[in-house]
Amino acid sequence: MSAWGKRQARVDTKPIADTATANNSTTNGSAAPKKSAWGAPPGAAPAVTAPAERSSSAFPTPREAMEKLSLEPSTAQTHVRSQSARPTNRRSHLQSAVPESAVLTPVRRPDAGGKVGKVIDVYTNHFPVHVDDAIINQYDIEIFMIGRDGRPRLARKDERWETVQRIAKREKNFPIIWYDEGKTIYTRELLTDFTKPLQIKFSINNEEKTFQFQVLNLVRQEKIRDMFDFIEKKTSVRPRDSIRILETLFKQRARNDLISFRNQFYDRKQKLDDLGKYELVYAIRKAYRKYVGDGRGMANGFYQALFLTQGGPTLNINLAFTCFYMPLNFIEFATKYLRKDITKGLTELELQGFRRIVRNLLIETLHTGRDIRYRLRGFGLPANQIMFVRGGNDDAGEASLGEKISVADFFAEKYQRLKYPHLPCIDGMSGNQKRANWLPMEVVKLVPWERSLKPLDSVQRALVTKKSVIKPEQRYDQIMNVVNNRQFDTDPYLKELNIKVNSKEMLQIKARILPPPEVKYRGQGSSEVAERVNFGKWTIRNRFYTTRDVNKWGMLYFGSKPTDDVIQTLKDFETRLPPLLQRYGITIKSKPITIAKPATKEEIEKTINNASKDGWQLTMVVLNNTSDNVYDYIKQCGNQRYGLVTQCVSYQSLERNIGKLDMYVQNLSQKINAKMGCINGVVNLKAALSRPSNEDLFMFFGADVTHTTCSAERPSIAAVVGSRDPTNSLYAARLCEQYPKLGRCSMEIIKDLDKMVIDLLQLFAKSCGNRLPNKIVFYRDGVDDGQYQKVLDNEVAKIKHAFRTIYVNRQPPKLTFIIVKKRHNTRFFAYDGQMTKNVEAGTIIDQHVTHPSQFDFYLCSQAALMGTSRPALYHVLHDEIGFTSDEVEQLTYWLCHTDARCSKAVSIPAPVHYAHLAAYASRTFDFDDNVDQNSGTGDDDGFVENVENVSIDDIKTKLMVLDPKIANNMWFV
């Protein structure tokens, strides 16, 4: 008998009380009674009773239940909502610089939900889940491949999965287990009869291999009841472990047939949709279109995750799209990606840049008759220059004892003569092996279904968007097809916990359509004229709310040498632009100065500098067949160096719209007016409140962080914008670079938020007659679920510190802090009895699929022009103002109508949208040269050591400075 005694019954629902109970148990436990989707059935006593609070549960804690079983601490990681655990990566994990804490508690919902608006029925892609109460045992396991020399080696992910499946199928009386693809398995039974190592042989790629599977130790026991307690508001602690266990269970059958990444699944039988594009190539006498690919393709799949909502557990299923590298020969892939024939050679600069792209990609050999996989670590010398000892062992120091031979000659002798011995060899790493494995490029290929995480260019992004934009009726049907193909009713793993998914129809819930605001403009004289919003948009038929005269302006043309047609188009534009701007109150009082220059850095900087010195108030920039780098450099010069207001237009767009300039100029005019420091339209935001007061002075903030490569070379950029006028229509932005000191540590918070808030509060007071706001609403974007607590504790504290600095002995303002989340997978559908449609602009959902106790809601503020509308998820973390559901929902919706760039409601409130625009636009600005670049690794692709002790103090920051002439204006629109 093992140390744990005989195997317990599969239906055991009680935790282990002590060793004696475990060792002496020989009878099966009683099956748990059926429960509802989130607890015991009405009128029935639960199988195991527990008081309301989890801390005083009748269950012994996992520590008490297992302290006599010599259990080791859990190695499971804490994961964010709706994400299952992943196996430990061979590289160091991305460490957080922000310590774990729980200083503040997220605010609870103040009422039963909002009442304002027209009530409608909608469908959502959530499917109710019934699950019985149970005790789940979590075990650590080890899986090794036994080498030919008898020594254990690390097994690959797919090999580990296959080993677990074959062992479970071969062993008699082996219980149903579910595996997380790392080093953890879960089961309802105690694995007391399976503690010894088990070996199994099977063939992979025509090669027989031996694998060893061993259960190491019982780590913990998880109670499914914890989920029910959370839904019933008996505890505020989210049961992440229970969610992870059930999500792992849901993945098991799908994993046998599909490729999975976290909660996304892709059919490996599908053909990747090539992301190549046609480019214009100029020959001596003509131009032609040439198809250019970069070795990547897009796959269609689905997303699946378990949510704990007001209405109980639900399974959220949505369509998913991602990019993979095509399984090409490495030379073919490199030729596509670099867009040159690499067989003629690569420069050192090209090789260095390419290494950053492909480092850590999985590759496999083509020359041995069997697939041997390596991770690409880097590149070395050409195959005809790398020498090694024939049959020698470099690690043993025997390199000088044998005959030396080049890699090229070795392949010619043993395999085949290389076609390209002059190309650099690939350094392939196997497992934790440190020595180099030199592989010629032509004998390896990319492993199928290797996910591409590298950014796409603008054309590819547009292509992906086009292919992933799906009409609501099609999305609804495709999601239902996914659900039907999953066949939850016949899944043997789900039957283990009596899990039932209501998959016949999407969940139908109640929603409301909020009333839109009125947008005020200027009529004749100075009178206010209100425009009514219909279906998320309105028409500008009057002048902007405030405008300014333009006494000096000009037009710059950068690009290929202008032809006669181009010159005529530019003349038409400069002639017709002033009277069209005059319609909206922008008066042009001079003729333009037009300059045409080639799109070189020298000419761009010189021309913009001269225009700034000459006092241009407005600069129209026409770009003809130029790259994104030209646009970026123009903005860098105009916004950061010389303080010149620039409005860029594409010549191709101008040419297409020259016959219908009215609408084209209306869109341009809104950006131009805002960049010049004026107001387009005004929304009376106080009217959104049930108890408005003339004494209240509101200020709105938005914040976002954009992450480039997180290293000491390329910082993350935090942007904070704040309103700076009493109407909350004008905004200013403050920017900060954040450099992780050790190269690979994450920075979820904005470290210098207090300094940025102080600066914006001072600007607000200066613009509002030295008055400071008494109520502040702060919208924060770019925060994942698992970071809510860190952001709440750290950023709210920094905002309060800014209040103490500015307000000193005066009453500080009341603060409401709201997280805005755009990247989620919940969708809503309207059905009119004949067809499935998008929900209307202003649709709000604050019940059933929201958090059981905290203050969150979904708002679809925009009218979708293409595809299926995506609602934004708002989570109120801190609320000193004391908003009701109706107030914060209406206020948030109305703020979506204040974006200066357009005359329609946008998908998120204007302040947080501005923060996103400012962070994105500032990525191309000059980074500060004084930041200690040597404080990190200096190489984003290198391995990282000793990152466990990283702290917030290790994050280097630098406030970004723009030219003072435009720093406080809305240059980012």
- The reply to whether 437 and 576 lie within a common domain is no
Structure tokens at 391: 């049959």
- The reply to whether 745 and 631 lie within a common domain is no
Which of 155-164, 337-346, 896-905 reaches the highest mean pLDDT? 896-905
- The reply to whether 768 and 834 lie within a common domain is yes
User: What is the mean pLDDT of the segment spanning 687-703?
Assistant: 94
643, 675, 707 - which closes a domain: 675
Predicted confidence (pLDDT) at residue 744 exceeds the cutoff of 70? no
Residue 382, domain CATH: 2.170.260.10
- The reply to whether 651 and 767 lie within a common domain is no
Least confident stretch, 56-65, 552-561, 608-617, 633-642? 56-65
Q: How far is CA 963 from CA 256, 310, 635, in A?
A: 58, 50, 12
Predicted confidence (pLDDT) at residue 480 exceeds the cutoff of 60? yes
Cα–Cα distance, 207 to 209 (Å, whole number): 6
- The reply to whether 880 and 926 lie within a common domain is yes
Predicted confidence (pLDDT) at residue 46 exceeds the cutoff of 50? no
Strand order in the sheet with 362-365: 437-440, 424-429, 373-382, 362-365, 444-446
pLDDT at 615: 95
Structure tokens at 490: 């016949």
Report the phi/psi class of residue 283: left, alpha or beta, with left for phi > 0 and alpha for psi in -120 to 50.
beta
The answer to whether residue 248 sits within a structural domain is no
- The reply to whether 555 and 656 lie within a common domain is yes
Q: In the chain, pLDDT over 90 holds for what percent of residues?
A: 64
pLDDT at 27: 38
Predicted confidence (pLDDT) at residue 180 exceeds the cutoff of 50? yes
Least confident stretch, 167-171, 308-312, 936-940? 936-940
pLDDT at 708: 63
User: What is the mean pLDDT of the segment spanning 862-871?
Assistant: 92
Angle between helices 753-767 and 788-807 (to 10 degrees): 50
Predicted confidence (pLDDT) at residue 485 exceeds the cutoff of 50? yes
Cα–Cα distance, 357 to 453 (Å, whole number): 9
Structure tokens at 666: 């209306």
447, 462, 478 - which closes a domain: 447
Helices (H) and strands (E) in the chain, counts: 20, 44
Of 709, 550, 714, 519, nearest in space to 617 by CA: 550
Predicted confidence (pLDDT) at residue 152 exceeds the cutoff of 80? yes
- The reply to whether 621 and 709 lie within a common domain is no
Beta bridge partners of 95: 745
The answer to whether residue 810 sits within a structural domain is yes
Cα–Cα distance, 926 to 735 (Å, whole number): 12
Over the stretch 367-415, which tens digit does the pLDDT of each residue have? 887 788 899 999 999 999 999 888 655 444 444 556 899 999 999 999 9
Predicted confidence (pLDDT) at residue 139 exceeds the cutoff of 70? yes
Amino acid in position 473:
E
User: Residue 153 is inside which H or E element, if any?
Assistant: strand 152-154
pLDDT at 98: 54
Predicted confidence (pLDDT) at residue 89 exceeds the cutoff of 50? no
Over the stretch 618-670, which tens digit does the pLDDT of each residue have? 999 999 988 888 999 999 999 999 999 999 999 999 999 888 898 899 999 99
Residue with the two structure tokens 């590289």: 91
- The reply to whether 632 and 702 lie within a common domain is no
Over the stretch 570-587, which tens digit does the pLDDT of each residue have? 999 999 999 999 999 999
- The reply to whether 792 and 938 lie within a common domain is yes
CB distance 226 to 242 below 8 Å = yes
Phi, psi (deg, nearest 5) at residue 706: -105, 130
Predicted confidence (pLDDT) at residue 433 exceeds the cutoff of 80? no
Cα–Cα distance, 946 to 120 (Å, whole number): 55
pLDDT at 369: 78
Residue bearing the bigger pLDDT, 145 or 467:
145
Cα–Cα distance, 286 to 280 (Å, whole number): 10
The answer to whether residue 215 sits within a structural domain is no
Residues 6+ apart with CB under 8 A from 568: none
Q: Output the furthest CA–CA distance in the chain (Å, rounded).
A: 97
- The reply to whether 650 and 721 lie within a common domain is no
- The reply to whether 789 and 719 lie within a common domain is yes
The band of 26, judged by pLDDT with boundaries at 50, 70 and 90, is very low
Predicted confidence (pLDDT) at residue 99 exceeds the cutoff of 60? no
The answer to whether residue 127 sits within a structural domain is no
The answer to whether residue 803 sits within a structural domain is yes
447, 463, 479 - which closes a domain: 447
Over the stretch 797-850, which tens digit does the pLDDT of each residue have? 999 999 999 999 999 999 999 999 999 999 999 998 889 999 999 999 999 999
The band of 927, judged by pLDDT with boundaries at 50, 70 and 90, is low
Cα–Cα distance, 697 to 727 (Å, whole number): 9
pLDDT at 74: 35
Sign of CA dihedral 724, 728, 729, 735: positive
Of 334, 374, 376, nearest in space to 354 by CA: 334
* DSSP line for 210-270: EEEEEEEEEEEEEETHHHHHHHTTS--S--HHHHHHHHHHHHHHHHHHEEEETTEEEETTS
The answer to whether residue 899 sits within a structural domain is yes
Of 684, 751, 677, 753, nearest in space to 715 by CA: 751
Overall residue count recorded for the chain in this entry: 973
Three-class HEC string of 857-922:
EEEECCCCCCCCCCCEEEEEEEECCCCCHHHHHHHHHHHCCCCCCCCECCCCCHHHHHHHHHHHHH
pLDDT at 660: 86
User: What is the mean pLDDT of the segment spanning 225-239?
Assistant: 92
Structure tokens at 554: 């000009």
Q: In the chain, pLDDT over 70 holds for what percent of residues?
A: 82
Residues 6+ apart with CB under 8 A from 820: 779, 780, 781, 872, 873, 874, 908, 909, 912
Predicted confidence (pLDDT) at residue 930 exceeds the cutoff of 80? no
- The reply to whether 342 and 442 lie within a common domain is yes
Predicted confidence (pLDDT) at residue 42 exceeds the cutoff of 70? no
- Per the structure, the count of domains in the chain is 3
The band of 22, judged by pLDDT with boundaries at 50, 70 and 90, is very low
Structure tokens at 959: 């406030």
Q: What is the mean pLDDT of the chain?
A: 84
Residue bearing the bigger pLDDT, 537 or 100:
537
pLDDT at 275: 80
Residue 573, domain CATH: 3.40.50.2300
Domain enclosing residue 383, as ranges: 329-447
pLDDT at 719: 96
Predicted confidence (pLDDT) at residue 29 exceeds the cutoff of 50? no
The answer to whether residue 69 sits within a structural domain is no
Residue 722, domain CATH: 3.30.420.10
The answer to whether residue 116 sits within a structural domain is no
Strand 731-740 and strand 198-204: the pairing is: unpaired
Predicted confidence (pLDDT) at residue 500 exceeds the cutoff of 90? yes
CB distance 426 to 241 below 8 Å = no
